[in-house]
Amino acid sequence: MGTDRLHHLDAGIGSRLPRGSTPILDRLLATGPPLELTDWSLAPAALELVLARIGPDVAEIVECGSGASTIAIARLLAARGHGRLHSLEHDRGWARETRHRLAAEGIAGSARVLEAPLRPHPLAEPGYEWYDRRALAELPRRIDLLLVDGPPAGEPALERARYPALPVLAARLRRGATVILDDAGRAGEAWVLDRWRRAGIGFDCRASDPVAIGCMFPPTARGGSGRLDTERKE
Ligand SMILES: C[S@@+](CC[C@H](N)C(=O)[O-])C[C@H]1O[C@@H](n2cnc3c(N)ncnc32)[C@H](O)[C@@H]1O
């Protein structure tokens, strides 16, 4: 499988939505302790988009960067009774905190936080790091949905930090898998999207959108004009 199977599905929507426009999130918020959405968290509109993509056929979810999104997704999976979230987290203390919250709500069976310190990675840009490959060995071989919201990339010196997610995990994304990149309106994420796109990935979004959503489709359907250096080629 190659990353040329990532096809534009739709662009994200803004975070300033009218009241009542995040129905899935609103329902989940009512089913547990208060869920604090901070500046670190996915915006409510972005989280709603992610939750809406978790259809009945989505069982294995991988998230880069844990937090409120981990709890919300786990609540949804626990409520419907199937599926599992695997969340990569570089910060040991934050991983512990998120695990604690999952356990306190009794939903730890639906999500696990994999501690993955940032380390030099062959697919990272020079000077950048990505999640420890030992943690990646714990991820499922077949991923239905990939949410890229880490490592932190909010500062200019970190803005290319999220690039490796797709090339590293592409070989595990099943046909039709959803890939979501948060903060798609930022310069760094725009660069990441452009690199993915120039590598032959049809991943389209408007620059101002906070979230970009793509869908992997069969290699033969697109012809694959380009290649991405993937984990398998190392
Ligand atoms: C963009 S955040 C990920 C947020 C997560 N996906 C969510 O929606 O809540 C990237 C990293 O910031 C850190 N982080 C997340 N929430 C935090 C918080 N409330 N305070 C401090 N650090 C946080 C974690 O290390 C996380 O991996």
The domains of the chain are located at 3-233
* Residue pair 13/181 in contact by the 8 Å Cβ criterion: no
Q: Percentage of the chain with pLDDT > 90?
A: 65
pTM of the model: 0.89
Per residue in 169-183, pLDDT (tens digit) is 988 988 888 899 999
CA 66 to centroid of ligand 1, rounded, Å: 6
Atom of ligand 1 nearest to the CA of 47: 8
Kindly state the DSSP code that residue 16 receives in the 8-state scheme.
-
Q: d(Cα 143, Cα 212) in Å, to the nearest integer?
A: 18
The set of protein residues with a Cβ atom below 6 angstroms from ligand 1 is 38, 40-42, 65-69, 89-91, 94, 149-150, 152
Q: Which residue has the higher pLDDT, 8 or 119?
A: 119
The CATH homologous superfamily of the domain defined by 3-233: Vaccinia Virus protein VP39 (3.40.50.150)
Residue 220 has pLDDT above 60, yes or no: no
> What is the pLDDT confidence band of residue 6, given thresholds at 50, 70 and 90?
very low
* Residue pair 146/179 in contact by the 8 Å Cβ criterion: yes
Q: Report CA-CA distances (Å) from 173 to 74, 91, 170, 183.
A: 20, 25, 5, 21
Residue 229 has pLDDT above 90, yes or no: no
pLDDT (0 to 100) of residue 56:
95
Lowest average pLDDT, out of 57-61, 152-156, 201-205, 228-232, goes to 228-232
pLDDT (0 to 100) of residue 200:
59
Q: d(Cα 100, Cα 124) in Å, to the nearest integer?
A: 31
